[in-house]
C-alpha cells in the first residue's frame, strides 16, 4: 500500500501507460513489411506489390497504396494449417519460433522513449523516467535479450530434422557469437565516454555533449555492421542463404510458425535501429535544440511539429496530384477506379493539412505554459511535459525509421557475403578496429581528464 | 579456343569494399528516390489493365488478307508451311469456284502454341495474304484446341483497325472496297 | 516434227566406248547414243525440256545447247539430237560462256509468257522448268510491267483477269482424268509424241502457229486413253495435271517408296508417294527393261482402294492354328498372284509342316488379256513366275473346284477366288472350314468361316519375279492403316511353327526351295531388278 500511495494517480497512470511501448516493435512490423517490399521494388525500378484491393460497396476498390497486399499475406499466413514434419522434436519445434517473438515484447522495456518528464503535480515536482525499466545496466539487458533471439534459430534448426535447417542454425550460432563480440567492443568506447551502462545516461550525455556518431564515428560503423550481421539480414544472411540452404533454419516452417520468425526478424531490426539511434544519434534528443529551450517555448515547438506534418501531407498530395494526372492521360482501363481511390486520399490529405495547420496556429498563438520552480527544480505543467515527451518520441521514431531504412537499403544493394568472408570480416577486421578504437578512446579520455 | 579476358586488378579503394559498397548504396538510393517521388515515371505497365504500345513491325497474331469480294487471298500454296520452322501451319487446298482463280484454301490452321512468331510465313507468302500485324499479343484460352487459329478466325478482322493500310481497305467494309470491287468484278471474256 | 524413226538410242552396258573431248578433256562415253545421254553417262547433266529418253526426239526446246568444234568453228548444237562421234570436241557451260548465255536466253524465252503460277501449280517442286531455271536461268524478268505476261493461245479460253491482263486456258477439261492449263504449256510436244508413238493413239495435237500454239484434242474428242495419265508425267510443266491429284498435296511433302505394282505379271516399277501414312499418288519408276517410264491408269489409280474396306486382324493366329490342328480331312492351301516370294516360301513351309494332307493351289480367275506392249503383260497373276520358281502350281484352281468334297479345310491367301467375276468357285462353300487371309474384306473373306487381315502388298517388303524373269524388290510404304496387321509370310510361318521375324528370313527360306535365289541378298537386287538365270517365266 505504501508503494501505491507513494505516487499520485497521474504518476501511476503514466507509468502503466508506458507499457504500451512494448507494442512498438509490432507496429514497426506493420510499417517495415510494406517498406521493405515496395522499397525493394523502387530500388529495382519496379512498383512493388500493389494489386490487391478491398471492394467497398458504392465506392469502388481501395488498395491503400498497396498495403492491402500485406494484409492479405498476413491473413493467409494466419489461416494456413500449421503442421510439423514427421520426426521432428515436437516441443522444440513449436517453442523455437516463440522465442524471437517473445523478445519483441521484452526488448523495448529498457529503451528511453523520451527524456525524463518533470512536472508539477499537487504541489510537488514529479519525475518520470522515459524508459519502462530505467535500469543501471540497461544496455547489457538489451544485449542479452537481443542475443536470446539466436536461440530461436538454433532450436529451429536443431528441431527441424533437416540438414538445411541444421546447417543454417549452425551458421547462425557461429555468426551471432562472432558479431556480438564485435558489437559489444565497438560500443565500449561510447560507454567509456558516457561513463554509464544506463541508456538514459548515454542519451543525456549525448544531449549535453555531442552525438555518438560524432564522438565515435569508427565505432558507429563497426557497430552498425555488427548489428546488421546480428539481425541476420543481407548481406549477412548466410543462415537462410536460399541458393545453398533452401531457406536456412526456417526451411521446415510454414504458416504462422514462419510468420513468427518473420515478425521476429523485423522486430529485431526495429530494436536494433532503436539501439543505434539511441547510442549514436542522440536518441530522443532534438538536434540543435535543448529540452529546456523547447519547454520554454512549448507552443512554438508544437506549432513547428504541426507545420512539418502539414508539409509532409502537402508533399503527399502533390505526388498524388501528379500521378493522377499521368494516370488520367494513360489508356489503363481501370484508371477511373484508381483515381476515385486517390480522390479519397486527397480529401483525407487536405483534411489533415487543415487540422495540422489549425492546430499549429492555435498552439503558437494561444498555448504558452508557465514554468515554475518546485522543490528547487524547474518544473513544467503536465501538458508541457506531455508535449515534450511527444516531440521526443517522434524524433526517436524518425531516427529509428531511418535506420530501419538503412537495413532495407543495405539488403537490396549488397550481395550476400560468403561464409568465410563474414568470419574474416568479423574476427579479423571489425573486432580489431573496435579494439583499437576502444584503446584510443580510453587514452584520449583519460588525457583530456574525463572520469 | 577459350579467350582469356584480362581483368583490371582492383585498386586499394576497391579492395577496401566499404567505399564501393557506399557507391552501390548511392545508386540504389537514387533509384528508390525516383520510385518514391517520381512514381509515375516507373516503366512498369499495370498488365492487363494497361497494355503496352505495339509497334507496327511487331509480329503478333496472324491474319489472312481478303480479296474485295471477301474471300481470303490465300491460294493455299503452302509456302508458309514450308517456311515455318516450327511446323505449326496446316493447309488444305481445294478447287476454287471462281473461274479466274485456280486454288482456294479450305483449311488453314495455325497452332499458336507451337508458333514461334518468327514471321517467316509472312515473308514467304507470295500473294501477301498472311500478315502478322494484328497487334494482338494476348493469347488466353482454356484448352489447347482453342489456341489453334482456324480459317474463320484468321479472316475475322476489321479494316477500321488498319486505317493506314491501303491493302486492308480493299477488303469488305474498307474505304477502298467499292473501287477495288469494280476492278475485281471485271467480267471474264 | 517428230516421227517414228528418231527414237533416241539409249546407252546400254554393251555400248562401245569412244573417246570424245568435253571441255578439252578426253572422256570415254558410250558411242552409240546421242550427246545428251553420253554426257549424262559421264556425269554431266544437260538441262532439257522436250527431250525424253523414251520418246522420239523432237529438238524443239533448244535448251540442251552445247558447243561443238566443227569445220566452220565452234557451233551451238542441241545435245539431244547430236549423235556421238569419236573425237568430237564438246564445250559445256563449264568452259563456254556462249553456251551458258545461249541456255540462259532460251530459258528466258521459255518463261516469257509462262505464268508465275508456281505457288498454286501442282508440278512445283518437280518441275523441269524450275530445275532448269535454277541451273541455267536465274535471269531477271526484262518485260516491262505494262506488257506483262500475255496469253495468245486458244482464243476460246482467253479472259482478262482482275489486273487487266490477258490470261487464258486455265483448267481446260480435255479428258476424264486430265486437266490442261494452256498458259503453263511450253509447247514441248512431249504429250503429243507420247500419244502418237507410245500410246499409238493420236488424241492430242498442237494447234496454231508460233506464239499462238496450243495443245488440244480433236474437236469433240476427249483424251481418254488407258495410258493418258502418263501425259502428266512427261509434261515438264504443270500444264497437264491429273484430276485425282489436283491440289491434294505439295509434292515436296511427299515421301517416296520404290516398289512394284502387283496387279500385273509385268510388275511395273512404281513409286508410292505418301505423306502422313496416306498414299497420295503412284508414279511410274523408270525401269528400261520393264515398264520404261510408263504406267497404266489401272495400276496408277489402284491405290485409291488400298486403305478402303480393309480386313481387321481380329482373333489372332492361334484360332487358325487350332482350326488347322483339329482338321481331320485334307487341307487346301490357295495362294493368289499378289503373294510375294516370301509369302509363297512360308506357304510351302506350312504345307510341309502339315504333311501329305495339304495341297497347294494357285492361280487367278481374272481374265487374261494380251500384252499391250507398254507397261502391262495382261496376266493378272503378278507373281506367276515366282510360283513356278518355287515349284508351286500356278494354274490349278479348277482342280480345287472339282474336288472340293475331298477337302475339309481351305486356307486362302491373298486370292479373291470368289469375287473375280466367276461363279464357279462358289463351290468352296462345301468346304466346312474356310480360312481366308486377305488384305481386303472382299467376297472371299465374306464367305470365310475365319477371316484374318494381313498387310497389303504396298505395305510389305518382299520380292517378286515378273513375266520377263526379273526378280524385283518390293518395299514397304508406311501406309498401313492398322498396326495390328502383319505380312502374310509372318502369319503363314507362324502357322507352320517357325515364325519369320523379317522378310529376309522368308527370302532365305525361299532360296532353299529355289536354287536360283540362293546366295542373293536384298541389297544385291538393284532397284531395276535382277535377271534370274534359268527361270521359268
Q: For chain C, give every domain's residue range.
A: 4-110, 152-305, 317-531
Closest CB to C120: pick one of B77, B184, B188.
Answer: B77
If asked whether residues A321 and A205 sit together in one domain, one would say no
pLDDT digits (tens, 9 = 90+) for A63-84: 888 899 999 998 998 999 888 8
Judge whether B26 is closer than 8 Å to chain A, CB to CB: no
pLDDT in tens, chain C (537 residues): 445 568 888 998 889 999 999 999 999 999 999 999 999 999 999 999 999 999 999 889 999 999 999 889 999 999 999 999 999 999 999 999 999 999 999 998 888 888 888 888 999 999 999 999 998 888 777 776 555 677 888 888 888 777 777 788 888 899 999 999 998 999 999 999 999 999 999 999 999 888 889 999 999 899 999 999 999 999 999 999 999 999 999 999 999 999 999 989 999 999 999 998 999 999 999 999 999 999 999 999 999 999 999 999 888 788 888 888 888 888 999 998 899 999 999 999 999 998 888 889 988 888 888 998 899 998 888 999 999 998 888 888 888 888 888 888 999 998 888 877 667 788 888 888 899 999 999 888 888 889 999 999 999 999 999 999 999 999 999 999 988 899 999 999 999 988 898 999 999 999 999 888 888 899 899 999 998 876 555
If asked whether residues A327 and A442 sit together in one domain, one would say no
DSSP category for residue A116: P
Judge whether B50 is closer than 8 Å to chain A, CB to CB: yes
**C510 near C345, Cβ under 8 Å?**
yes
Chain B residues within an 8 Å CB radius of C171: 102
Residue A451, pLDDT score = 52
Residue A225 in domain: yes
Taking CA atoms, C378 is separated from B29, C171, C264, C356, C367, in Å, by 95, 34, 7, 35, 9
Residue A85, pLDDT score = 86
- Is B42 within 8 Å of A331 when comparing Cβ atoms? no
Mind giving me the DSSP string for C349-416? Answer: HHHHHHGGGEEEEE---SPP----SSS--S-S-TTHHHHHHTT--SS-HHHHHHTGGGEEEEEEES--
Provide the β-strand partners of residue C333: C360, C411
Question: Other C-beta atoms within 10 Å of C88: how many?
Answer: 20
Residue A143 in domain: yes
- Cα separation, C465 vs C266, in Å, equals 9
**Residue of C116, C119, C125, C243 for testing the chain B interface, max B β-carbons within 10 Å:** C119
Tell me the backbone φ, ψ of residue A119, rounded to 5 degrees: -145, 165
Judge whether C171 is closer than 8 Å to chain B, CB to CB: yes
What class has domain C152-305?
alpha beta
Residue A382, pLDDT score = 79
Residue A74 in domain: no
The residues spanned by each domain of chain B are: 63-182
pTM for the predicted model, two decimal places: 0.70
Mean pLDDT of A27-56: 90
Taking CA atoms, A113 is separated from A109, A177, A282, A295, in Å, by 10, 28, 12, 17
Closest CB to B32: pick one of A39, A334, A410.
Answer: A39
Provide the β-strand partners of residue C411: C333, C435
Reported ipTM: the value is 0.82
- Is B77 within 8 Å of C250 when comparing Cβ atoms? yes
Residue A54 in domain: no
Lowest mean pLDDT among A289-303, B109-123, C10-24: A289-303
**C392 near C272, Cβ under 8 Å?**
no
Overall domain count for chain A? 2
Residue A106, pLDDT score = 87
Task: Kindly report the average pLDDT of chain B as a whole number.
Answer: 88
State the CATH architecture for C317-531. Answer: 3-Layer(aba) Sandwich (3.40)
Residue A400 in domain: yes
- Cα separation, C35 vs C45, in Å, equals 11
Closest CB to B75: pick one of C120, C164, C246.
Answer: C120
If asked whether residues A253 and A147 sit together in one domain, one would say yes
Residue C94, pLDDT score = 92
If asked whether residues A293 and A277 sit together in one domain, one would say no
pLDDT higher than threshold 50 for residue B189: no
If asked whether residues A28 and A139 sit together in one domain, one would say yes
Residue B188, pLDDT score = 46
pLDDT digits (tens, 9 = 90+) for A197-208: 888 888 888 888
- Cα separation, B126 vs C119, in Å, equals 7
Of A334, A368, A402, the last residue of a domain is A368
DSSP category for residue C72: T
What is the CATH code for B63-182?
Answer: 3.30.70.3270
Judge whether C184 is closer than 8 Å to chain B, CB to CB: no
If asked whether residues A157 and A221 sit together in one domain, one would say yes
If asked whether residues A108 and A242 sit together in one domain, one would say yes
Of A368, A397, A425, the last residue of a domain is A368
CATH topology of domain C4-110: Ubiquitin-like (UB roll) (3.10.20)
Max intra-chain CA distance, chain B: 90
Give the residue numbers spanning the domain of A305: 287-368
Cell of A374: 518546485
Amino acid at each position: 500500500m505504501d508503494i501505491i500511495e507513494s505516487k499520485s494517480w497521474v504518476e501511476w497512470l503514466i507509468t502503466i501507460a508506458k507499457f504500451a511501448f512494448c507494442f512498438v516493435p509490432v507496429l514497426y512490423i506493420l510499417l517495415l513489411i510494406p517498406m521493405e517490399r515496395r522499397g525493394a521494388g523502387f530500388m529495382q525500378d519496379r512498383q512493388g506489390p500493389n494489386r490487391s484491393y478491398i471492394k467497398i460497396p458504392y465506392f469502388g476498390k481501395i488498395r491503400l497504396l498497396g498495403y492491402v497486399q500485406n494484409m492479405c499475406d498476413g491473413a493467409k499466413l494466419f489461416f494456413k494449417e500449421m503442421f510439423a514434419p514427421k520426426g521432428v522434436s515436437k516441443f522444440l519445434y513449436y517453442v523455437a519460433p516463440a522465442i524471437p517473438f517473445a523478445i519483441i515484447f521484452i526488448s523495448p522495456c529498457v529503451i528511453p522513449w523520451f527524456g525524463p518528464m518533470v512536472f508539477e503535480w499537487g504541489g510537488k515536482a514529479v519525475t518520470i523516467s522515459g524508459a519502462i525499466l530505467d535500469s543501471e545496466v540497461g544496455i547489457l539487458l538489451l544485449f542479452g535479450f537481443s542475443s536470446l533471439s539466436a536461440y530461436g534459430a538454433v532450436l529451429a534448426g536443431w528441431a527441424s530434422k533437416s540438414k538445411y535447417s541444421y546447417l543454417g542454425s549452425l551458421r547462425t550460432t557461429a555468426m551471432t557469437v562472432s558479431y556480438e563480440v564485435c558489437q559489444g567492443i565497438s560500443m565500449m568506447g561510447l560507454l567509456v565516454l558516457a561513463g554509464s551502462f544506463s541508456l538514459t545516461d548515454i542519451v543525456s550525455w549525448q544531449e549535453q555533449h555531442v552525438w555518438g556518431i560524432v564522438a565515435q564515428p569508427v565505432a558507429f560503423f563497426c557497430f552498425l555492421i555488427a548489428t546488421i550481421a546480428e539481425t541476420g539480414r543481407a548481406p549477412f544472411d548466410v543462415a537462410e542463404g536460399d541458393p545453398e540452404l533452401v531457406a536456412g533454419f526456417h526451411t521446415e516452417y510454414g504458416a504462422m510458425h514462419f510468420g513468427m520468425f518473420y515478425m521476429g526478424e523485423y522486430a529485431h531490426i526495429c530494436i536494433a535501429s532503436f539501439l543505434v539511434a539511441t547510442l549514436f544519434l542522440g536518441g530522443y534528443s532534438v538536434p540543435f535544440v535543448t529540452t529546456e529551450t523547447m519547454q520554454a517555448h512549448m507552443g512554438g515547438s508544437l506549432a513547428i511539429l504541426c507545420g512539418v506534418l502539414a508539409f509532409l501531407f502537402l508533399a503527399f498530395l502533390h505526388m498524388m496530384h501528379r500521378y493522377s494526372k499521368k494516370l488520367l492521360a494513360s489508356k489503363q482501363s481501370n484508371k477511373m477506379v484508381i483515381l476515385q481511390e486517390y480522390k479519397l486520399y486527397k480529401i483525407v490529405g487536405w483534411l489533415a493539412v487543415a487540422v495540422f495547420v489549425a492546430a499549429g496556429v492555435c498552439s503558437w498563438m494561444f498555448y504558452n505554459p508557465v514554468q515554475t520552480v518546485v522543490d528547487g527544480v524547474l518544473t513544467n505543467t503536465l501538458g508541457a511535459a506531455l508535449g515534450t515527451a511527444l516531440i521526443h518520441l517522434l524524433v526517436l521514431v524518425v531516427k529509428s525509421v531511418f535506420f530501419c531504412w538503412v537495413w532495407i537499403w543495405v539488403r537490396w544493394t549488397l550481395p550476400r557475403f560468403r561464409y568465410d568472408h563474414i568470419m574474416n570480416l568479423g574476427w579479423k577486421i571489425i573486432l580489431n578496429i573496435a579494439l583499437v578504437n576502444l584503446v584510443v578512446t580510453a587514452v584520449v579520455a583519460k588525457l583530456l581528464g574525463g572520469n | 579456343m577459350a579467350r582469356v579476358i584480362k581483368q583490371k586488378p582492383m585498386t586499394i579503394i576497391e579492395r577496401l569494399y566499404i567505399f564501393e559498397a557506399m557507391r552501390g548504396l548511392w545508386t540504389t538510393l537514387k533509384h528508390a528516390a525516383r520510385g518514391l517521388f517520381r512514381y509515375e515515371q516507373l516503366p512498369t505497365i499495370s498488365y492487363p489493365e494497361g497494355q503496352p504500345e505495339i509497334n507496327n513491325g511487331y509480329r503478333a497474331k496472324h491474319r489472312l488478307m481478303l480479296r474485295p469480294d471477301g474471300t481470303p487471298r490465300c491460294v493455299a500454296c503452302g509456302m508458309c508451311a514450308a517456311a515455318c520452322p516450327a511446323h505449326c501451319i496446316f493447309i488444305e487446298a481445294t478447287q476454287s469456284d471462281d473461274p479466274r482463280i485456280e486454288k482456294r484454301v479450305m483449311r488453314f490452321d495455325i497452332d499458336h502454341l507451337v508458333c514461334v512468331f518468327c514471321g517467316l510465313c509472312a515473308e514467304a507468302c507470295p500473294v501477301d495474304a498472311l500478315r502478322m500485324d494484328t497487334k494482338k499479343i494476348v493469347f488466353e484460352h482454356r484448352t489447347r484446341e482453342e489456341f489453334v487459329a482456324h480459317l474463320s478466325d484468321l479472316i475475322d478482322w476489321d479494316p477500321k483497325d488498319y486505317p493506314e493500310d491501303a491493302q486492308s481497305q480493299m477488303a469488305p467494309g474498307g474505304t477502298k472496297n467499292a473501287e477495288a470491287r469494280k476492278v475485281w468484278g471485271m467480267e471474264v471474256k | 516434227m517428230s516421227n517414228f524413226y528418231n527414237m533416241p538410242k539409249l546407252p546400254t552396258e554393251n555400248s562401245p566406248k569412244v573417246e570424245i573431248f568435253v571441255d578439252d578433256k578426253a572422256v570415254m562415253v558410250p558411242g552409240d547414243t546421242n550427246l545428251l545421254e553420253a554426257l549424262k553417262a559421264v556425269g554431266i547433266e544437260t538441262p532439257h525440256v522436250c527431250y525424253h529418253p523414251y520418246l522420239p526426239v523432237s529438238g524443239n526446246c533448244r535448251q540442251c545447247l552445247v558447243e561443238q568444234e566443227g569445220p566452220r568453228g565452234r557451233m551451238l548444237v542441241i545435245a539431244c539430237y547430236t549423235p556421238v562421234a569419236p573425237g568430237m570436241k564438246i564445250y559445256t557451260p563449264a568452259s563456254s560462256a556462249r553456251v551458258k548465255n545461249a541456255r540462259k536466253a532460251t530459258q528466258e524465252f521459255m518463261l516469257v509468257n509462262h505464268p508465275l503460277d508456281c505457288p498454286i501449280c501442282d508440278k512445283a517442286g518437280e518441275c523441269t522448268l524450275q530445275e532448269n531455271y535454277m541451273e541455267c536461268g536465274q535471269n531477271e524478268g526484262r518485260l516491262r510491267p505494262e506488257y506483262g505476261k500475255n496469253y495468245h493461245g486458244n482464243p476460246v479460253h482467253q479472259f482478262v483477269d482482275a489486273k487487266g491482263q490477258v490470261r487464258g486456258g486455265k483448267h481446260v477439261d480435255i479428258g476424264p482424268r486430265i486437266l490442261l492449263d494452256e498458259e503453263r504449256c511450253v509447247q514441248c510436244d512431249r504429250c503429243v509424241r507420247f500419244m502418237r508413238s507410245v500410246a499409238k493413239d493420236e488424241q492430242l495435237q498442237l494447234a496454231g502457229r508460233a506464239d499462238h500454239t496450243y495443245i488440244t484434242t480433236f474437236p469433240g474428242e476427249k483424251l481418254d486413253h488407258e495410258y493418258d495419265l502418263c501425259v502428266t508425267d512427261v509434261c515438264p510443266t504443270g500444264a497437264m495435271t491429273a484430276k485425282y491429284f489436283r491440289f491434294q498435296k505439295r509434292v515436296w511433302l511427299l515421301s517416296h517408296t520404290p516398289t512394284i505394282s502387283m496387279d500385273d505379271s509385268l510388275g511395273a516399277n512404281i513409286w508410292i508417294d505418301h505423306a502422313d501414312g496416306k498414299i497420295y499418288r503412284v508414279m511410274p519408276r523408270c525401269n528400261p527393261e520393264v515398264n520404261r517410264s510408263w504406267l497404266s491408269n489401272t495400276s496408277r489409280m489402284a491405290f485409291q482402294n488400298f486403305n478402303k474396306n480393309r480386313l481387321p486382324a481380329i482373333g489372332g493366329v492361334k484360332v487358325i492354328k487350332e482350326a488347322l490342328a483339329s482338321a481331320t480331312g485334307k487341307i487346301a492351301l490357295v495362294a493368289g498372284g499378289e503373294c510375294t516370294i516370301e509369302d509363297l516360301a512360308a506357304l510351302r513351309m506350312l504345307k510341309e509342316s502339315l504333311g501329305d494332307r495339304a495341297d497347294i493351289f494357285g492361280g487367278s480367275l481374272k481374265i487374261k488379256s494380251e500384252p499391250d506392249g507398254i507397261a502391262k503383260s495382261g496376266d493378272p497373276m503378278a507373281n506367276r513366275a515366282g510360283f513356278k520358281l518355287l515349284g508351286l502350281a500356278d494354274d490349278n484352281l479348277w482342280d480345287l473346284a472339282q474336288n472340293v468334297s475331298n477337302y475339309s479345310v481351305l486356307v486362302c491367301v491373298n486370292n479373291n477366288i470368289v469375287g473375280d467375276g466367276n461363279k464357279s468357285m462358289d463351290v468352296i462353300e462345301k468346304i466346312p472350314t474356310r480360312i481366308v487371309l486377305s488384305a481386303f474384306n472382299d467376297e472371299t473373306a465374306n464367305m470365310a468361316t475365319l477371316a484374318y487381315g494381313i498387310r497389303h502388298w504396298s505395305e510389305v517388303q518382299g520380292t517378286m519375279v515378273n513375266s520377263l524373269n526379273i526378280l524385283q524388290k518390293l518395299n514397304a510404304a508406311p501406309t498401313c492403316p492398322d498396326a495390328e496387321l502383319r505380312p502374310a509370310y509372318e502369319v503363314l510361318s507362324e502357322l507352320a511353327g517357325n515364325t519369320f521375324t523379317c522378310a529376309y528370313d522368308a527370302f532365305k527360306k525361299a532360296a532353299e526351295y529355289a536354287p536360283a535365289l540362293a546366295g542373293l541378298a536384298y541389297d544385291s537386287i538393284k532397284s531395276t531388278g535382277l535377271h534370274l538365270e534359268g527361270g521359268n517365266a
